[in-house]
Chains A and B, each alone.
Chain A
């Protein structure tokens, strides 16, 4: 088809003026290089070039006339061969071995891939988290502890309140897990529904647990109910990433605590009702914020549109997350004191180091194809992040000791062991091994309870069990991070 348009017999067209490409290319090689050079360079097979030539609208006739090739296939194959050699040809190596043996053939002839030392600069990734946010979360985990300064629980941390605290802790973990699941599935309404309903159920269950314990009184049950309300609100705000709102809600408690510390220095003690009022104010603010973040979202949606049904595996996961939280709570509460604040504060740092460890291993995935090198990279990342986290814990313990001379509670070694156990369990959980992490943590919790029942002192029980748990969990974590398929 050499004409401008294909004419019908008998139909005459006036010639069209204007610039047009000459039918035969002046220098086919040059024009081809210009027209298809980039395409050919990035293509992986001759047929990719053929497909692109056709998509350019070039017909076989045009190819014959302009470039002197029979069709798109011939042209595409020639262009590909010029740029890449034969398809499938790796270039500088000899004949292929037998197929049966081939996959096992040594591939040591390649020089090991040179890895850039850029692994320290973690790029954009799902695990790219901001340090200030993590620090803020750490503060938020620790702030409620100040409420104890403002208002001592009715009978101290007795069995009744302790039971309610353990239940609320585990329950909120399960609820948080489920709503994270829904958020991950792109269902924010479902996530909000779980937070509201799960939180409400927790508010009913925790006082019940407090009430059935021996020594329960009306004040302890009321205290347990307030505590459960706070857990529900705080879980909601933390899961939805509304840390600032929670911080705002906790401001009265923080200011009250400062007041208490200052007045004690002056040999005075503020009246108890002030502390109680401030705590109630903070609780009210937290509930109000949590309500605002969830309930209006549920209103426009009819109840039956929200997917509240859970698959069996989701039930199991929620239960495992609850038991996980319970185990961590038992381990932590086995011996607490003022130094435990350091551990609570460090939880934000734990999140940061965990995310950094995951981001670094993800980067290692794209930086190497060699198993040995991959293992070296991820294990060194694991060790670096764990050490970084433990240093942070030690620094926080030291800071607490400075600010608070003579503070009671677990020593730095016990806290470090506890921190290592919790951190590696969380890492294991983030790698999709919630079951393993839960078994380890639950076993540790049971061991602590058994040791206490056998009369072992709390400090010894906590530090020994934590150290053993940390060791086991770290081994499991090291195995898991070295498994590439875990990082899908």
Chain B
């Protein structure tokens, strides 16, 4: 069990731990606290770089650093003359790989060329902000055979797209870890230093995904104020980045099996995918006591459109037709800036004539009380990863009714009811059935608790990641056909990419052997 040298893990996050509260941060905190024997290095991608650390960092965190995406430029100078021409030639192929399917195979090589430029003293920011880089983009995306040419991109579009790419690529300029294991917490931009560590130092790469980063980017860009060509280019980058991450990661660890669909579609070898479910700390979520006297429905979470509380309220109105004593208690706050949604919901309760029976309780400290407050706990989301709120409610021994999204079905198994999303009638019917049958409710609650105890404890999650770290660090997962110039643990210092040079530009075969006995 004990290895002679402490295991080192670099945890890469984006916009979460240790700066923000939320599911992914909770998960990171669980991992770090659960492994006091592992030396963790935290590298967090943030917005401005001035975000305070709000999670207490335990002793096992050996170092912590930040890559601000929107901080001021580094002040370096753009290359000139031949160096600039060389950089731009590669950059143009990189751009083309984002825009045209025929050139997608160029993406990886050009990405690492750019990384090498940034890691060997070149200022990527200055180079990408140069007039030459702007002309390169204008030259590439107006090529007649590229789809963006139909949208006739203007200089304004080119400036905007270049800026977005420049900020997205800043994480490439971070010296990648040269030893241990790299664990990317959420995919996306946080994978960039992981990819360079894999490429230049042969450091094994573990990629976790909670939601699907790429899907969230596609959804996020629907409301973004960008023109079509800008959207095409930037989403092209995220798509290719996801593909490269799936291709290179030694293990991809989604939090549910549902997410595998995107990963396999993105080109990930199914044999390298290992689902590791989220876990609950059973001490924090003990079996709740007696049910409330009145039939009560409870819900806990962030008040956000993705939780589709409109369907929940409509379903409750239907429940109340049959059970006039029923009440609905909603625990949680809207995120900053999302208060309008809560107002809409309140208006809806008035419109449906249930305002007196629906209580917006706000945020509470002991979340277990939110689950205990309900005879039945509901989840009405239209999108979920592996929802903590559901497994927590299950841990408290409450019967649940949830919508069939993401990993919900995997979490609930046969210990609760699952209905299609966005269908108030179905949600109401299932809820009524449970409210009318106390025996079944108790049976499901007990079964749910057992299911969590057996499958979804935080200890189990931590131990699965610990063994993944061990396997990766021990090289038992690393593909022997890969040819990193430096062994995974040969060089204890953070190496310079100059030493690796283009000699490490050996691409890992996509059809590599099965590295994980799945």
A residues whose Cβ falls under 8 Å from a Cβ of B: 1, 4-9, 11-14, 16, 18, 20, 39, 42, 44-45, 47-48, 50-52, 54-57, 59-60, 62, 71-73, 84, 86-91, 93-97, 99-100, 102-105, 107, 109-110, 113, 362, 364-369, 371, 374, 483-485, 487-488
Query: Knowing that A44-B231, A59-B421 are A-B contacts, what are 16 other residue pairs whose CB atoms are under 8 Å apart, sorted by A's residue number?
Result: A5-B419, A11-B440, A12-B433, A16-B426, A44-B235, A47-B218, A51-B218, A55-B383, A57-B403, A86-B101, A88-B146, A96-B103, A103-B93, A365-B155, A366-B156, A488-B129
Secondary structure dominating the interface of A: loop
CA distance A39 to B403 in the complex (A): 24
Chain A residue contacts of B136, Cβ below 8 A: 103
A sample of 5 inter-chain contacts (CB < 8 A) reads A59-B405, A88-B100, A103-B140, A368-B155, A488-B159
With A6-B404, A54-B383, A96-B102: A48-B147 Cβ-Cβ less than 8 Å: no
Task: Find chain A residues with CB under 8 A from B261 CB.
Answer: 60, 71-73
Report B-chain residues with C-beta under 8 Å of the C-beta of A5: 417-419, 426, 429-430, 433
B428:A105 contact, CB within 8 angstroms:
no
Residues of B within 8 A of A11 (CB): 433, 437, 440
In angstroms, Cα B318 to Cα A136, docked, is 65
By a CB distance below 8 angstroms, the chain B residues around A12 are 433
Contact A45 B235 (CB under 8 A): yes
B353 smallest CB distance to A (angstroms): 17
Shortest distance in angstroms between A88's beta carbon and chain B's nearest beta carbon? Answer: 4
- Roughly how many angstroms separate A365 CA and B420 CA in the complex, as a whole number? 48
Closest residue on chain A to residue B232 by CB atoms: A44
User: For residue B219, which residues in chain A have a CB less than 8 angstroms away from its CB?
Assistant: 51-52, 55
Interface residues of chain B, those whose CB is within 8 Å of chain A, are 89, 92-93, 95-96, 99-103, 106, 129-131, 134-136, 138-140, 142-147, 149-150, 152-159, 163, 214-216, 218-219, 221-222, 228, 231-232, 235-236, 239, 261, 265, 306, 308, 318, 382-383, 403-405, 414, 417-423, 425-426, 428-430, 432-433, 437, 440, 444
A462: min CB distance to chain B, Å: 36
In the bound complex, CA of A91 to CA of B149 (Å)? 10
* Minimum CB distance partner of B242 in chain A: A47
Find chain A residues with CB under 8 A from B144 CB. Answer: 90, 93, 107, 109-110
In the complex, what residues of B have CB within 8 A of residue A369's CB? 138, 142, 152-155, 157-158
Question: Assuming A1-B420, A5-B418, A110-B142, is B154 touching A367 (CB within 8 A)?
Answer: yes
Cβ-closest chain A residue relative to B423: A20
With both chains docked as a complex, state the minimum distance between the C-beta of A422 and any C-beta of chain B, in angstroms: 27
Q: CA–CA, A42 to B216, complex, Å?
A: 17
Closest to B227 in A: A366
The residue among B143, B149, B155, B420 with the most chain A CB atoms within 10 A of its own CB is: B155
- When C-beta atoms are compared, the residue in chain B nearest to A72 turns out to be B261
Cα-based distance from A91 to B219 in the complex (angstroms): 26
With A44-B231, A105-B143, A485-B159 already in contact, the answer to whether A59 and B150 are too (CB < 8 A) is no
Q: A5-B426, A13-B433, A47-B218 are in contact. Are A484 and B159 (CB under 8 A)?
A: yes
Q: A258 CB to closest chain B CB, in angstroms?
A: 50
Nearest opposing residue in chain B for A12, CB measure:
B433
Interchain CB contact (< 8 A) of A57 among B157, B163, B308: B308
> Which of these, A39, A99, A110, A113, contacts B106 with CB under 8 Å?
A99
- Residues of A contacting B216 in the complex (Cβ-Cβ under 8 angstroms): 51
Contacts of B421 in A (CB 8 A): 57, 59
B425 and A103 form a contact (CB under 8 A): no
B403: chain A residues within 8 A (beta carbon): 57
Closest to A311 in B: B72
A103 — which chain B residues lie within 8 A by C-beta? 89, 92-93, 95-96, 136, 139-140, 143
Most buried by B among A87, A93, A485: A485
Q: Could you tell me the distance between the alpha carbons of A82 and B352 in the complex, rounded to whole angstroms?
A: 41
Q: How far is the CA of A7 from the CA of B421 in the complex (A)?
A: 15
Beyond A6-B419, A59-B405, A90-B149, whether A365 also contacts B433 by CB under 8 A is no
Q: Which residues of B contact A8 (CB under 8 A)?
A: 414, 417, 444
CB neighbours (8 Å) of A102 from chain B are: 92, 96, 103, 140, 143
List of A residues within 8 angstroms of B437 by Cβ: 11
Complex Cα distance, B99 from A353, in Å, reads: 40
| Inter-subunit contact B149/A110 (CB<8 Å) | yes
Residues in chain B near residue A113, CB distance under 8 A: 152
CB pair A484 B145 closer than 8 Å: no
What 8 pairs across the A-B complex have the smallest Cβ distances?
A57-B421, A366-B156, A103-B92, A51-B218, A16-B429, A57-B382, A5-B430, A365-B156
A90: chain B residues at CB < 8 Å are 144-147, 149-150
CB distance from A277 to the nearest CB of B (A): 51
Q: Which of A9, A55, A364, A366 contacts B382 (CB 8 A)?
A: A55
What distance in Å separates the Cβ of B391 from its nearest Cβ neighbour in chain A? 18
A346 to chain B, nearest CB (A): 32
Find out whether the CB atom of A87 lies under 8 angstroms from the CB atom of B147. yes
Give the shortest distance, in Å, between A383 (CB) and chain B (any CB): 20
Contact present for B155 and A13 (CB under 8 Å): no
B382 touches A485 (CB 8 A): no
Which of B150, B218, B239 is packed against the most chain A CB atoms within 10 Å? Answer: B218
- Among candidates A18, A56, A368, residue contacting B154 with C-beta atoms closer than 8 Å: A368
- Are B155 and A374 closer than 8 Å at their CB atoms? yes
Indicate if the CB atoms of A483 and B131 lie closer than 8 Å. Answer: yes
Closest to A3 in B: B426
Q: Is the CB of A485 within 8 A of B130?
A: yes
Chain A residues lying within 8 Å of B130, measured Cβ to Cβ, are 485
Distance A73 CA – B423 CA, assembled complex (angstroms): 23
A59 to chain B: which residues have CB within 8 Å?
A: 404-405, 420-421
Determine if B147 and A89 form an interchain contact, defined as CB atoms under 8 angstroms apart.
yes
Residues of A within 8 A of B231 (CB): 44
Contact A45 B239, beta carbon cutoff 8 Å = yes
Alpha-carbon gap, A8 to B433, bound state (A):
12
CB-defined contacts of A39 to chain B, threshold 8 Å: 222
